[in-house]
Amino acid sequence: MAIKQPKELNPFVEAVAQFDAAADMLGLEPDIRAILRVPKRELTVNFPVRMDDGSIQMFTGYRVQHNINRGPAKGGIRYDARVSLDEVRALAMWMTWKCAVVNIPFGGAKGGVIVDPRKLSVHELERLTRRYATEISTIIGPESDIPAPDVNTNPQIMAWIMDTYSMHHGYSIPAVVTGKPLSIGGSEGRMEATGRGVYVVTREACRALGIPMEGARVVVQGFGNVGSITARLMALAGCKVIAVADIYGAIYNENGIDIPAAIRHVQERGRLEGLPGSEQIPSASLLETPCDILIPAATEGVITEENASRIQAKLIVEAANGPTTVEADAILKARGIPVIPDILANAGGVTVSYFEWVQDVQHFFWGEDEINARLESIMVRSFKAVQAKRDEKDCDYRMGAYLLAVARVAEATQVRGVYP
Residues at the contact surface with ligand NAD, assessed by CB under 6 A: 149-152, 194, 221-227, 245-247, 283, 297-299, 319-321, 346, 349
Nearer to ligand NAD, 83 or 410 (CB): 83
CB of 95 to ligand NAD, least distance (A): 9
Nearer to ligand NAD, 69 or 225 (CB): 225
CB of 150 to ligand NAD, least distance (A): 5
CB of 152 to ligand NAD, least distance (A): 5
Helix (H, G, I), strand (E, B) or coil at 148: strand
* Strands of the sheet with 240-246, listed across from one edge: 279-281, 249-252, 240-246, 217-221, 293-296, 315-317, 339-340
Rounded Cα distance, 265 and 14, in Å: 36
Rounded Cα distance, 266 and 250, in Å: 13
Minimal CB distance residue for ligand NAD: 224
Contact between residue 74 and residue 106 where contact means Cβ atoms under 8 Å apart: yes
Nearer to ligand NAD, 354 or 410 (CB): 354
Nearer to ligand NAD, 165 or 223 (CB): 223
User: What b/e string do you get for 295-314 counting C-beta neighbours within 10 Å, with b at 16 or more?
Assistant: bbbbbbbbbbeeebeebebb
Contacts for 307 with CB less than 8 Å, ≥ 6 apart: 287, 288, 328
Q: Which residues pair with residue 110 across a beta bridge? A: 64
CB of 76 to ligand NAD, least distance (A): 6
Rounded to 5°, the CA angle 183-186-187 comes to 120
Rounded Cα distance, 67 and 42, in Å: 11
What's the N-to-C CA distance of the chain in angstroms? 59
Nearer to ligand NAD, 23 or 250 (CB): 250
Prior bond to 420 cis, omega within 30? Answer: yes
CB of 371 to ligand NAD, least distance (A): 14
Q: Which of 98, 110, 180, 389 does the annotation list as catalytic?
A: 110
Nearer to ligand NAD, 182 or 247 (CB): 247
CB of 198 to ligand NAD, least distance (A): 9
Rounded Cα distance, 308 and 262, in Å: 28
CB of 283 to ligand NAD, least distance (A): 6
Nearest to 75 by CA among 39, 23, 35: 39
110 an active-site residue? yes
Render 311-341 in DSSP notation, one character per residue.
---SEEE--SSS-B-HHHHHHHHHTT--EE-
Render 259-311 in DSSP notation, one character per residue.
HHHHHHHHHHHSSSTT-TT-EEE-GGGGGGS--SEEEE-S-SS-B-TTTGGG-
Annotated active-site positions, please? Answer: 110
